[in-house]
Homo-oligomer: A and B are copies of this chain.
């Protein structure tokens, strides 16, 4: 197939977005709908700081979008392609 080095890097980066347990859990929750940082933190039993750090990464990868409302920030999923990959990966894990 002979990928260029650039394409190989981009592909690895794409999958890296989903290669961490915390990010996987964040995404699995956001599939239900938008949620604030503190609500995510409570759900995940993680500190708000740790969640915020991961959300920054997901933001930079354009996987989530932030909406500010008062002093809260609500996050939603923003990349249909990656979410589709996520669902397919999940199918694989759940049934064969």
Interface, chain A (partner B; CB < 8 A): 1-3, 5, 7-12, 14-21, 23-25, 28-29, 31-32, 81-82, 84-86, 88-90, 92-94, 96
Q: A8-B24, A21-B9 are in contact. Are A89 and B15 (CB under 8 A)?
A: yes
Known: A11-B18, A28-B2. A85 touches B82 (CB 8 A): no
User: CB within 8 A of A19: which of B2, B19, B28, B94?
Assistant: B19
List 10 tightest A-B contacts by C-beta distance, closest first: A15-B18, A19-B19, A16-B19, A1-B28, A15-B19, A81-B92, A12-B21, A3-B28, A10-B93, A8-B24
Report A81 CB to chain B, min CB distance, Å.
5
User: Judging by beta carbons under 8 Å apart, are A15 and B12 in contact?
Assistant: no
CB < 8 Å neighbour of A85 from B19, B25, B88:
B88
Contact between A14 and B92 (Cβ–Cβ < 8 Å)? yes
Contact partner, A1, options B11, B23, B32, Cβ 8 Å: B32
